Amino acid sequence: MTTKKKITIKDIAKVMGLSTSAISKALNDDSRISEKTKKEVRQVAKKLNYQPNHLASALRSGKSRLVGVIIPRNNSNFFSSVLENIEEVLNAKGYNIIITQSNESFEKECKCIESLLFTQVDGIIASMANETTDLSYYEKIKAKEIPLVLFDRGELDLKVDYVGIDDYETSFKIIDHLVAQGCSRIAHLGGYDNTRVYGNRIRGYVDALEKRGLPVDETIISKSTLRLEDGRRIMEKLLKLPNRPDAIYAASDFAALGALQVLNEHGIKVPEDMALVGFSNEPFTSYLSPSISTVNQNSEQIGKLAAEAFLNRIENPIEEGAINKIIIETELLVRASSSKNSTE
């Protein structure tokens, strides 16, 4: 069995009668090469099925035109939307992205970082895994002076550019809404508070209750990975309490969905008997019956601003202390699951 020969710049140069240097410059959009020649070179490269070796190119030039993106999971509309907008902005500037997924695992996240560094990416845009408490691998990125931008989940101790929302204040919005609906015993399905965003959501929940003169009961505060099965498991426990909550604030739409399933199975009316609010505005939240109230984090804007933060850092390297922290405004989408005046 013969192995198909990999087409190189030398093959293109031979076909066109040009030097390999000229072909390389044309493929890299060098201003010293005419637009006519660039077009012809690209056409020949496409015809020969030339595939650039990004790693070799990075080693030669110090630039790969690749940006690594690390997300906790790919089954979330929030992260999918952020990715789409990161890619749109970076593609327009001649960059491609390499997408990696940690699956909320610290160990896998470290492997993602190692792989991206080996690939010689020009920068990394990341949202941390739930399990991550050791920041040494992110410090490794900084030590190599590779631009690092964190979005949604990120530790400010790293002193790098960050794009996200004010999770603390958003919890106040949710509690204010539920109190306005007459709710006074509000449970919180939270994430692990070692992750800053979930820690801030819990802090906001506790402080909002105290500010409204409502009791903070540890028995109705839970911490989990916020998957659908977590929402189901925690809701079953809450229903066994002698004094059930009259509202649920879930820090994830998936956990809110699990909770809603259990409430429906037990014949508990939502929102009449128990109101429910999720977080992230997953598409399914508007299609359910009742539809789930949730928080729009403006993922499109987060994606675009994260990409622009990377581009700005590439073009204008600045000292460590001068970091950019961009906070996006959130919107509470009130739907049937928490609106007792709803006609849905």
Q: Write down the pLDDT at residue 291.
A: 97
Q: Write down the pLDDT at residue 156.
A: 65
One domain for residues 289 and 310: no
Asked if 96 and 311 count as a contact pair (C-beta separation under 8 A), the reply is no
One domain for residues 65 and 48: no
Does 343 fall in a domain? Answer: no
Does 4 fall in a domain? Answer: no
One domain for residues 173 and 253: yes
Does 344 fall in a domain? Answer: no
Does 226 fall in a domain? Answer: yes
- Amino acid (one-letter) located at 184: S
Tokens of 78: 């929030």
Query: What's the predicted TM-score (pTM) here?
Result: 0.79
Does 338 fall in a domain? Answer: no
Q: Domain containing 27: what range? A: 9-52
One domain for residues 102 and 159: yes
One domain for residues 156 and 193: no
One domain for residues 175 and 252: yes
CATH code of residue 149: 3.40.50.2300
Does 291 fall in a domain? Answer: yes
Q: Write down the pLDDT at residue 8.
A: 85
One domain for residues 47 and 111: no
- Structural domain count, the chain: 3
Q: Write down the pLDDT at residue 253.
A: 97
One domain for residues 287 and 180: yes
Could you read off the pLDDT tens digit of each residue along the chain, which spans 344 residues? 445 677 888 889 899 898 888 888 888 777 788 888 989 998 998 888 887 765 556 555 567 789 999 999 888 899 999 999 999 999 999 899 999 999 989 999 999 999 999 988 999 999 998 888 888 899 999 899 899 999 998 766 788 999 999 999 999 999 999 999 999 999 999 998 888 899 999 999 999 999 999 999 999 999 998 999 999 999 999 999 999 999 999 999 999 999 999 999 999 999 999 999 999 999 999 999 999 999 999 999 999 999 999 999 988 776 554 678 899 999 999 999 999 864 43
One domain for residues 96 and 212: no
